[in-house]
Amino acid sequence: MDWQVIIANLPLLMSGLAKSVQLTVVSILFSVPLGCIIAIGRLSHRRWLSGACTAFVNVLRSNPLILILFWFYFLVPLITGRNVNDLTSIIAAFIVFFAAYFAEIVRSGIQSVGARQIQAGLSSGLTYAQTMRHIVLPQAIRAMLPALITQCIVVFQGTTVVYVIGYSELLHTAASIAERTVRPVELYVTVAFIYFIVCYSASRIARHFEKGAA
């Protein structure tokens, strides 16, 4: 064991962690709104719309993230007709993939409020949008907050998948240092520890909201 290698490479590892976090944040920022749109689409009375949104969610949820990543990696340059950088394909894949999961969370949050409250809101003279804004969403958001945070942890853990493409997030950075210094034990243990600290702290926060909601 030689932990010197970790200290020497700490700045590199931290910049890897920063990239992982960046990727997580960008994915969440775009996939949550997309997920909301799809969730509302699924609850629509228009058959074709709810059918299309349901199909989108089910297809993405039955495929592994790594395969979706390969799909985008292959398709994005083909569709746009030019060489885009890796990061564009990665982010596109993450946004689309996780939107399906967020859509499910939002849908079950909205459904947990119940149709009767919507009916009550409408019959007291509010418009549909007002009912959503003042009655359904405040309750739905409270109900789905723990699941949302847990899903954000899943996104963060999911960024490790990018390793296969060679994008230098935390895991890939560690792997290349491990290869260069021939110190895989120290590096992978350190990386596991970093992921654990981040995910564990975040899961504590989720637990806190769960208790608050109950």
* Binding region for another protein (CB under 8 A) out of 24-32, 34-42, 72-80, 122-130: 72-80
Tokens coding 155: 């996104």
Tokens coding 131: 């009912």
Could you tell me the smallest distance in angstroms from the CB atom of residue 192 to another protein? 5
- # binding residues, another protein (CB under 8 A): 40
Residue in this structure with the two tokens 């564009």, named with its chain if needed? 88
Q: Give yes or no for a contact between 169 and 23, defined as CB atoms under 8 angstroms apart.
A: yes
Q: Which of the residues 183 through 202 are near another protein (CB under 8 A)?
A: 184-185, 188-189, 191-192, 195-196, 199-200
Dihedral over alpha carbons 151, 156, 160, 162 (to 10 degrees) = 90
Closest C-alpha among 99, 88, 104, 101 to residue 162: 88
Nearer residue to another protein within complex by CB, 65 or 145: 65
Residue in 78, 123, 125, 129 binding another protein, rule: CB under 8 A = 78
Nearer residue to another protein within complex by CB, 33 or 67: 67
213 binds another protein (CB under 8 A): no
83 binds another protein (CB under 8 A): no
> Pattern 142-181, binding to another protein, x per CB under 8 A?
-----------x---xx-xx-xx------x---x--x---
Nearer residue to another protein within complex by CB, 32 or 101: 101
Q: How far apart are CA 31 and CA 38, in angstroms?
A: 10
Closest C-alpha among 105, 102, 78 to residue 27: 102
Tokens coding 92: 């596109």
Mention every residue, 6+ apart, whose C-beta is less than 8 A from residue 32: 99, 102, 148
Mention every residue, 6+ apart, whose C-beta is less than 8 A from residue 166: 86, 172
141 binds another protein (CB under 8 A): no
Residue in 11, 46, 48, 115 binding another protein, rule: CB under 8 A = 115
Q: How far apart are CA 103 and CA 142, in angstroms?
A: 16
Binding residues for another protein (CB under 8 A): 58-59, 62-67, 70-71, 74-75, 78-79, 81, 111, 114-116, 153, 157-158, 160-161, 163-164, 171, 175, 178, 184-185, 188-189, 191-192, 195-196, 199-200, 203
